[in-house]
Chains A and B, each alone.
Chain A
Amino acid sequence: MKTPNISTTALKDWLASFSLKAIFFPIFGIVAFLLLWQVGASKVHTSLGEFPGPVVVYQQWNSLLDDHRREKVKETKFYERQEVRIEKRQAKDPSYVGKIRSYTGKPTFFEQIFTSLYTVLAGFGLATLIAIPVGILIGLNSSVYSALNPIIQIFKPVSPLAWLPLVTMVVSATYVTNDPMFSKSFLTSMFTVTLCCMWPTLVNTAVGVAAIDKDLLNVSKVLQLGWLTHVVKIVIPSAIPLMFTGLRLSLGIAWMVLIAAEMLAQNPGLGKFVWDEFQNGSSNSLGRIMVAVLMIGFIGFLLDRAMLTVQRFVSWDKSQILR
């Protein structure tokens, strides 16, 4: 009887030491926050009613889910009706070629999340494609650095709201086709994100490249490595940690900028959702906006985790602690 007793107490001790920090404290923090929120929210009265507390927000979340399901059912029925109609026509006239018209219903909250996600990833991807090569170039060559540094320093702190009107006008003027692949609002939001989020990646890549261990540079010189081998084998691996610091900062900024850009550019994403609810001004609006706020935060967190996972995968130093 003695031995299992010892092992159970050990297990308990282990569980206690583990769960206190990993489980209890975070739960305590969240519960305390929810309580404070509920109490605080009931004290704030706006023209659209009481500020939404957690309970109202949860109800609105459910109602948004319902909206989404209802809309999906409508959409499927819409397509079914078309198919039935086409089949009927073809039964009478076999030469008839039917055309399926796409559903034009209002995008639901969850479709808007998806729109936001691919817009931010497109903008961030484009920014990365520009920032990493330019960052490497600047880091390698101090003359290029001196030439570009003032420009970078001036454009880095510019707010997305300042860029947006310019980007809108340029996109309208240059993207003229009869058969547009992308909507203009998407392009405007994407380019605004790109313009605002490429700087941390660019600067960090440049710093990482410039900070390569001098001994490794000497190795490269003694081996007389070609330019490409030098960049691929020595420059990029040693710049990777800082590069990822930049990428994570960039992705965070991209996500923040996107919401503002979507509000103004009317790209059908989360930013537009918030703006529309605000303009709508129903008694549900504040609760729905709060759902969007929490969703934005949660997705931002997931994006950062995803980036961290990529970094773990790419990083050569597996012993490095990444957080």
Chain B
Amino acid sequence: MSTHLDISKVSIEFPTPKGPFKALDEVSLKIAKGEFVSLIGHSGCGKSTVLNIVAGLYDATEGGVLLDGKEVRGPGPERAVVFQNHSLLPWLTAYENVELAVKRVFKGKKSKKEMHEWILHNLALVHMSHAADKRPNEISGGMKQRVGIARALAMEPSVLLMDEPFGALDALTRAHLQDSLMEIQKDLNNTVIMITHDVDEAVLLSDRIIMMTNGPAATVGEILSVDLERPRDRLALANDPKYVNYRAQVLTFLYEKQRKVEPITQASKVVTSTASRAASA
């Protein structure tokens, strides 16, 4: 497969009062068209920084990002972002939020009627047609996130960037949205980079899981190719030995190889790590 998005030796330093802080060190990653890639790692390891660099919201100190052979300079609608906290404009309805993006991207390319149909189509894609005229504060967190996804999809991005899109949702809503996302992904075959800290989510959705080392100077630790047939069914996979094995590999990376060193006593450290392992299991 040819390279669609090429993240090439990206390093970034942030200025702090104590001198520059190196958050990322030579992160390299090649992503093919239509591939679904997850970035996983402990919090603070720079996953979001990678995504923001691809989005163009941050400038890499060294290295760069190529999209279809062209260097990424600044943000743009061809790299749509689904933000963690939905980031819908609270004064616009669901329809108007999507409309803002559609008008920006398709002005002059689609007629008014086509744009209207395209907005409705994208809201239908995330099953939000019934709430098109509702404002964000009138709908639930999961619904807001759906609208956020519809807004991003409506831009027909060549890469869809998702920053912990389901992180703030309860487990049932999250599972539901994950299934919707897989369905949409099957139909549209988008290239997706998703940040997550949920091991099951990563294994279930991804073609590849990029495991990142802890910061500072975080980089790509291991890459795991998830070779499970699509469509994937969470119930059937739960006891699939391959799936269990992938999960175990990610967990091993996160909790043994890259265990976060915590300044607490040995005993409580064991307790917390087993507790968090139990919690994520």
Partner-B contacts on A (CB < 8 A):
213, 215-216, 218-219, 221-225, 229, 233-234, 237-238, 316-317, 319
Contacts and interface: CB of A to CB of B under 8 A. Distances in A.
A318 to B, nearest CB: 9
Given A233-B89, A234-B89, A317-B90, A225 B83 contact: no
Contacts of B81: 218-219, 222
Contacts of B101: 223
Contact of B75 (A222, A234, A237): A222
Interface string B69-95: 000001111011101010101111000
A224 B100 contact: no
B89 A221 contact: no
B137 A219 contact: no
A224 B75 contact: yes
B238 interface: no
B77 A224 contact: yes
Contacts, number: 56
Nearest to A236: B91
Given A216-B89, A219-B87, A233 B77 contact: no
Contacts of A234: 89
Contacts of B56: 221-222
Contacts of B124: none
Given A316-B90, A317-B90, A221 B75 contact: yes
B32 interface: no
B91 A237 contact: yes
Interface string B120-163: 00000000000000010100000000000000000100000000
Contacts of A317: 90-91, 137
B55 interface: yes
Q: Which 10 A-B pairs have the closest CB atoms?
A: A316-B91, A215-B87, A237-B91, A221-B75, A222-B75, A223-B104, A219-B87, A222-B81, A215-B83, A223-B101
B76 A222 contact: yes
By DSSP majority rule, is chain B's interface helix, strand, loop, or mixed? Answer: loop
A319 B91 contact: no
Nearest to A316: B91
Nearest to A218: B57
A82 to B, nearest CB: 57
Given A317-B137, A319-B137, A222 B89 contact: no
Nearest to B101: A223
B57 A221 contact: yes
Contacts of A237: 89, 91
A223 B81 CA distance: 10
12 contacts: A213-B87, A216-B89, A218-B75, A218-B83, A219-B83, A221-B75, A222-B57, A222-B79, A223-B155, A233-B100, A316-B91, A319-B137
Nearest to B138: A319
A223 B101 CA distance: 6
Contact of A215 (B85, B100, B135): B85
A316 B74 CA distance: 31
Q: Which of A216, A223, A225, A237 has the most CB of B within 10 A?
A: A223
A223 B90 contact: no
A181 B87 CA distance: 51
Nearest to B76: A224
Contact of B89 (A219, A224, A319): A219
Contacts of A225: 100, 104
Contacts of A233: 89, 92, 100
Nearest to B157: A222
Contacts of B77: 222-224
Contacts of A216: 87, 89
A182 B76 CA distance: 53
Q: Which of A218, A237, A319 has the most CB of B within 10 A?
A: A218
A298 to B, nearest CB: 34
A317 B138 CA distance: 10
A222 B75 CA distance: 5
Contacts of B80: 222
Interface string B171-184: 00000000000000
A37 B211 CA distance: 77
Contacts of A223: 77, 100-101, 104-105, 155
A260 B105 CA distance: 55
Contacts of A215: 83, 85, 87
A222 B159 CA distance: 12
B223 to A, nearest CB: 27
Contacts of B83: 215, 218-219
Nearest to B83: A215
A237 to B, nearest CB: 4
A209 to B, nearest CB: 15
A213 B84 CA distance: 13
Given A216-B89, A218-B87, 15 more contacts: A213-B87, A215-B83, A219-B81, A219-B83, A221-B57, A221-B75, A222-B76, A222-B79, A223-B105, A224-B104, A225-B104, A233-B89, A233-B92, A317-B137, A319-B137
